[in-house]
């Protein structure tokens, strides 16, 4: 194998440098924004505000004595003031569930569970 000239050697080194991944490589802006939102919790806060607004408009008289909690495995937890409010929630469950599914399809709510608290 022959010796490389200094120009050829320099070209070969430049090619190797270009092939190395840079730690400073640009990321897509959408990915960066999602990471910032996940770290700061902005997305969860916004989703919670949407859920509260939807609940207040859908629940009617129940809105004053109840508040939505978290959605876990498709089940939305609803906190109510007392057992009579829990009974009222149980009686209106199907209508509330249908309205919530229409208003917030991205949450994929499958059921409602009431809890006094």
Residue 112 pLDDT: 93
The parts of the chain modelled with pLDDT lower than 70 are: 1, 18, 20-23, 25, 41, 43
Confirm whether pTM is higher than 0.85. no
State the Cα–Cα distance between residues 32 and 36, nearest whole angstrom. 6
Domains of the chain: 31-116 (3.30.300.20)
State the Cα–Cα distance between residues 89 and 103, nearest whole angstrom. 18
Residue 20 pLDDT: 65
Residue 43 pLDDT: 65
Query: Quick one: how far is CA 31 from the chain centroid?
Result: 14
* Residues making up the chain, counted from first to last: 117
Residue 4 pLDDT: 80
Here the tokens at position 39 are: 């770290």
Residue 1 pLDDT: 62
């Amino acid at each position: 194998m022959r010796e490389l000239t200094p120009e050829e050697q320099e070209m070969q080194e430049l090619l190797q440098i270009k092939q190395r991944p840079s730690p400073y490589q640009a990321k897509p802006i959408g990915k960066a924004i999602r990471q910032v939102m996940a770290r700061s919790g902005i997305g969860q806060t916004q989703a919670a505000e949407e859920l509260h607004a939807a609940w207040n408009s859908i629940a009617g008289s129940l809105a004053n004595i109840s508040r939505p909690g978290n959605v876990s495995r498709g089940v939305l937890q609803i906190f109510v003031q007392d057992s009579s409010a829990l009974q009222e929630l149980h009686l209106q469950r199907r209508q509330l569930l249908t309205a919530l599914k229409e208003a917030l399809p991205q949450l994929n709510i499958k059921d409602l569970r009431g809890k006094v608290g």
